[in-house]
Amino acid sequence: MKASRYNLFIPIQRSDTTLGFNCRSAALVRFSPEEMELVEHVLSAPDSDRAFAELPAELQNVLTESAFLLRDDEDEIEILRRLNHRARFESAHLGLTIAPTLSCNFQCQYCYEQGQTVDMLPETEDALVSWVAGKLENLKALYVTWYGGEPLLAQRRVRRLSEKFLSLCHRLNIPYHAKMISNGYLLTRDLAAELKALHVDKVQVTVDGPEKVHDVRRPFKNGGGTFRKIVENIKQVHDLIRVVVRVNLDKTNIASVPELIDVFVRDDLYRKVSLYYGHVMPYSEFCADVSGSCLAVDEFARNEVLLELKLFKAGFNAGSYPRPRSGFCIADSATGWVVSPDGKVYKCWNDFGTQDAVAVDDVVHGQTEAMRLTLEKWLGWDPFQKKECLDCKMLPICMGGCPYLSFRFYDGTRGSCPTWKYNLQEILLLAYLRSEVKKAETSVARAVQHVISHAVADEEETEAKV
């Protein structure tokens, strides 16, 4: 037997407990001091097979099932490499992000699409459906993310395309799933019901702080506020469609987040929506002017922990947890594509509408040689060629991070390290805290149920005697 290279052990200060986490299985296990002594012994023993055989059976199961211990002949990097290759080149799912328009009714401070107004034409819509039908051959599911601009400004196009995709998937007897990234301003209850019928089961809406902060960062085109309308819409639709609230953070709004959380608690939304924090980055020239206010990844990571703790204390159904992944995003998958309203196909969401972005295909005019070479560049992105990534414990939960950032900002020895690199221990401690509270709630609920059923039985017995 041998120790996994992806083990982390976190002693909990002022307690006798140690948490063990394995980045490949994502198992989080609590060890008592006696168990930890045995675990340390078996992980470092020269004759680990013998040390393992002497462990109590329960501990043996925990260590092997959670992948803290492996057979000597298992090569973890090779296993990950194969998973990654399969996810990239052998996925059975077609994943599309489609912008039916680049128009938007907001004028966000950090927007990189900067007032572009390209809408999808009917002939592009037809060409897109044929292109999708071709790509779906031999695949087993279609996933669409509606994006923009603001996709609800192109409702008719979303409706028509959804109906065509549904009928295509019906004909092929494969499932169709969709979600939407919207600013939430036009998301009425009727519209949410209609989206749901078109298989859109989740909408992500951005709220960047309490009213006074959000309205400065995400004003309407005419400068008016948008916060109240968005929050009202969330209240109207959350029982019809799953709502995920994204809060984009930079130096200028981070201090106001606790106030936003208080608003969600006051409005009784905190158990009805999920909320997560997004990191505003200087992704393109268009938003280079916000680079001075962007948080560095380690700064963002520190704040993320504090703000997740705030969410936990407020009672939100939220909190991140590192999961193993086989690829990173649409950009490193051979079956993932981003389609702009003019029919150009890209590999990355950041390429929408940016001047220097290079398409990898065109649903109307077909793929050129230059596009094919660009596609090769994206699909050639490989964290297993990066020395720091190969030596890094985070590899199974990170897979080299965002390929776009890596191409743009890093030097080739590593990918773009995500926040886990800086806050994994704290995030795991928080996850443990959440699970303990949940367990306590469940056992209290069980105890209450037990007391009630006994009380009811006693009462029935008394009645029967009378």
Which phi and psi (to 5°) does residue 391 adopt? -95, 5
Is residue 345 within the footprint of ligand SF4 (CB under 6 A)?
no
The DSSP result for 245-280, as a single string, is: EEEEE-TTTGGGHHHHHHHHHHTT-TTTSEEEEEE-
| Beta carbons within 8 Å of 67's beta carbon, 6+ residues apart | 4, 6, 22, 24, 25, 27
Q: Which is nearer to ligand SF4, 282 or 401 (CB)?
A: 401
Q: What is the spatial distance between Cα 464 and Cα 147, in angstroms, rounded to a whole number?
A: 64
Q: Which is nearer to ligand SF4, 118 or 417 (CB)?
A: 417
Is residue 414 within the footprint of ligand SF4 (CB under 6 A)?
yes
Which phi and psi (to 5°) does residue 276 adopt? -140, 165
State in angstroms the smallest separation of the CB of 295 from ligand SF4. Answer: 17
Q: What is the spatial distance between Cα 41 and Cα 51, in angstroms, rounded to a whole number?
A: 7
Segment near ligand SF4 (CB under 6 A), from 46-54, 142-150, 298-306, 329-337? 329-337
Q: Which is nearer to ligand SF4, 215 or 351 (CB)?
A: 351
Q: Which of 19, 290, 329, 430 binds ligand SF4 (CB under 6 A)?
A: 329
Segment near ligand SF4 (CB under 6 A), from 61-69, 172-180, 356-364, 413-421? 413-421
Q: Which is nearer to ligand SF4, 343 or 383 (CB)?
A: 383
Q: Which is nearer to ligand SF4, 253 or 350 (CB)?
A: 350
State in angstroms the smallest separation of the CB of 351 from ligand SF4. Answer: 8
> Do residues 395 and 326 make contact, with C-beta atoms less than 8 angstroms apart?
no
Q: For Cα atoms 193, 196, 201, give the angle at the middle one, nearest 5 degrees.
A: 135
Binding mask 370-409 for ligand SF4 (x = CB under 6 A): -------------x----xx--x-xx--x-xxxxxx----
Q: What is the spatial distance between Cα 209 and Cα 110, in angstroms, rounded to a whole number?
A: 14
3-state helix, strand, coil in the chain (%, to 5): 50, 15, 35
Q: How many CA atoms lie within 13 A of 131 on its CB side?
A: 23
Q: Which is nearer to ligand SF4, 209 or 415 (CB)?
A: 415
Q: Which helix (H) or strand (E) holds 377?
A: helix 369-379
Segment near ligand SF4 (CB under 6 A), from 125-133, 291-299, 344-352, 360-368? 344-352
Q: Which is nearer to ligand SF4, 79 or 216 (CB)?
A: 79
Place of tokens 């005697």: 465
State in angstroms the smallest separation of the CB of 331 from ligand SF4. Answer: 4
State in angstroms the smallest separation of the CB of 354 from ligand SF4. Answer: 11
Is residue 151 within the footprint of ligand SF4 (CB under 6 A)?
no
* Closest to 378 (Cα-Cα) out of 51, 117, 88, 158: 88
Q: Which of 241, 417, 430, 431 binds ligand SF4 (CB under 6 A)?
A: 417
* Closest to 247 (Cα-Cα) out of 294, 205, 187: 205
Q: If phi over 0 gives left and psi between -120 and 50 gives alpha, with beta otherwise, what is residue 412?
A: left
The SS3 assignment for 349 reads helix
- Which tokens go with 339? 């389609």
State in angstroms the smallest separation of the CB of 421 from ligand SF4. Answer: 4
Place of tokens 């993310």: 145
Is residue 350 within the footprint of ligand SF4 (CB under 6 A)?
yes
Q: Which helix (H) or strand (E) holds 423?
A: helix 420-465
State in angstroms the smallest separation of the CB of 443 from ligand SF4. Answer: 37
Which phi and psi (to 5°) does residue 345 adopt? -115, 130
State in angstroms the smallest separation of the CB of 202 from ligand SF4. Answer: 18
Q: Which is nearer to ligand SF4, 217 or 414 (CB)?
A: 414
* Site size toward ligand SF4, by CB under 6 A: 24
Is residue 179 within the footprint of ligand SF4 (CB under 6 A)?
no
Q: Which of 25, 349, 367, 426 binds ligand SF4 (CB under 6 A)?
A: 349
- Which tokens go with 6? 């992806």
State in angstroms the smallest separation of the CB of 446 from ligand SF4. Answer: 40
The residue ranges that bind ligand SF4 (CB under 6 A) are 329-331, 348-350, 383, 388-389, 392, 394-395, 398, 400-405, 414-417, 421
